[in-house]
Every structure is written in structure tokens, then in C-alpha cells.
Amino acid sequence: MRRYKLFPIQHVLPVLVCILVWALGLPVPAASAQQTASAPVRVTFEARMTDEGPAVESGVEWRIFGTQVAEDGRLPMLAMTQGGVQAFDMSPGEYFVHAAYGFAGAVRRITIAPDTGLEVFSLDAGALQLNGVTGEDTRIPPKFLRFDIYSKQADERGERQLIARNVRPGEIVPFHAGTYHVVSQYGRLNAEVRADLRVEPGKVIQATIQHRAARMVFRLVRAAGSDAIANTAWSITNESGDLITESSSAFPAFVLSEGKYTAIAKNSEKIYSREFEVIAGVNQDIEVLAN
């Protein structure tokens, strides 16, 4: 899978706002708002998940930009704060305001006049809350589970845009309304499940991804139940003989999808092996006898 590098939102927002200004055909005033000398106006900003929904109480990132593009091609950021409903003292004039809530957001050009009081931003957003189980209903420990969120549509090369990486189990994460491609990874190897989930405006979509995998711990021993032999190199292959992973730990642990495998242990130039089967939801200790 191709990996994408994500940049902090504060680094890319000025560029994104400029692109939106160009794409929407919004005119850029000859003078920026900060050049006006009028008395400031107290303006309240409020973000909502839907047009008729309540105000978002916390977690909104507000950024206010001037409208005159600087020499570097960016709009100057005049103010930034985080919270729910926020109030600013602003001179009358033109501004671009961006409200970001999780992976949802809205940008608008606003005109501040002496009678301006409240500006409402409708995000057209919902949220995802993801968890994972293995087998029938065995909850996967959060430290072994992660979710990557992609756009549903793939490009001409069959690749999807990465939207969110390493979303934690149980975390409520806002997204724009729409359908997303979710990749659930249990462990770091071949226990991966994909699903398309639809985010509904104003709703938290709770989804539990079912894996068919288990966590296996390996030891090379002289006798059953004895201590693991140090300085052992491990290789795990699948039923077709393809290499799945390697390790130099005395007792490595791997999450593997269900199926048949072979554990190969090399110690003091000697090679030992054992076939084993992974059953979904059944964690096992696999001992390989050195005899």
C-alpha cells in the first residue's frame, strides 16, 4: 500500500484558502480589512454539524485570514483560537474565516459591518467511532488496533486519498458527510479488514470491524514448558511458503490472520520448525522443540 505524508493543518490552511478563493471565483478586495480605521465590532462565530443542529461546544479550530494575498502567495492569518463558540473584536471589512472540526471544515468570506453579530458555519458533518473484535466477539486491545480512513473513490491508478491515519479505537472523529473507505489493521502483518462506511450529517456512526486473526507467541525450547532459548532467529511462512515476517527475539509475538503457517527457528546453525494453525480469536503460545 502506498504511504502518504500528512502535513499539520496549520501549515496548509493558508494555501487551501487561497485555492478555494480562486476556485470559487471570489473577488479579492483592493485593501484588506486590517487597513480600515473603523471601531471594532464584537462578532460571535458558531459551528454546527448541520444547518439546524446545536452549536459544537468544543474542539473547533477557528482561523481568520485577511483577504489581500501576500507576496508569498498566501493570505495572512490574523487570528487563531480553539474551542466552541468564539467571539472576536473585528474591524469592519472583508475576511476569510475557516472553521475546522476534526476532519470536517468550512471556509467562508464574510463582511463585517457595524451591525454584524453572529456568524454560523454549517459543517455538513457527522462522526465515526470505530472498534474491532476478533473471532465472534473478542474485543481487540486498543494497542494492537488502528484505523486508516481513505476516500471511497480511487484514482486512475487505483489509489485512494488518505484522509486520516492511525485513528484510535473508540475515538469519536468528525468527518464531512459521505462514504469513506476504512482500513482496520490488527497488529502489523496480514490481519487487515476493509469496509466502506457512510457518515450521516449530525450523527455518530458506531462501527465494529470483525477480524479473523489471533496473537501468537513463539518460543524455542529444550522441553515443553521450559525457558525460551536465547539468540534464536525466527521466520514465519504461510501455507504457500511465502515469508510473512522475521524476528531475532527469544519469544516474538505476532498477530496473524487465520490459516496454516510454519514457524522456523534458527539457533547455533541448527534449524527447527513446526507447523501450526491460527484460529480467529484464539491466542496461542507456540513452542518449537529443539531436538
Q: Tally Cβ neighbours within 10 Å of residue 184.
A: 24
Instruction: Check pLDDT > 80 for residue 10.
Output: no
Residue 223 falls inside a structural domain: yes
Rounded alpha-carbon distances, angstroms, from residue 59 to 18, 101, 109, 148, 261 = 24, 6, 22, 21, 46
What's the domain range around 53? 9-122
pTM over the 0.85 mark: no
Do 13 and 70 lie in one domain? The reply is: yes
- Give me the pLDDT at residue 37, please: 54
pLDDT averaged over every residue in the chain: 89
**8 Å CB contact between 66 and 30:** no
Do 198 and 255 lie in one domain? The reply is: no
Q: What is the CATH number of the domain that holds 99?
A: 2.60.40.2190
Do 205 and 285 lie in one domain? The reply is: no
Domain total for the chain?
Answer: 3
Do 245 and 195 lie in one domain? The reply is: no
Final residue in a domain of this structure, among 100, 122, 144: 122
Residue 1 falls inside a structural domain: no
- Give me the pLDDT at residue 170, please: 97
Instruction: Check pLDDT > 90 for residue 1.
Output: no
- Give me the pLDDT at residue 291, please: 84
pLDDT band at 24 (very low <50, low <70, confident <90, very high): very low
Final residue in a domain of this structure, among 168, 190, 211: 211
Give per-residue pLDDT as tens, 122-156. 999 999 999 999 998 999 999 999 999 999 998 98
Do 19 and 56 lie in one domain? The reply is: yes
**8 Å CB contact between 211 and 132:** yes
**8 Å CB contact between 34 and 183:** no
Final residue in a domain of this structure, among 122, 149, 182: 122
Return the SS3 of 244: strand
Instruction: Check pLDDT > 60 for residue 20.
Output: no
Task: Work out the angle at residue 222's Cα, subtended by the Cα atoms of residues 279 and 236, and round it to the nearest 5 degrees.
Answer: 40
Do 189 and 133 lie in one domain? The reply is: yes
Do 232 and 276 lie in one domain? The reply is: yes
179 closest CA partner among 161, 148, 200: 200
Give per-residue pLDDT as tens, 259-281. 999 999 999 999 999 999 999 99
Do 198 and 218 lie in one domain? The reply is: no
Residue 264 falls inside a structural domain: yes
- Give me the pLDDT at residue 97, please: 97
Q: What is the CATH number of the domain that holds 138?
A: 2.60.40.1120
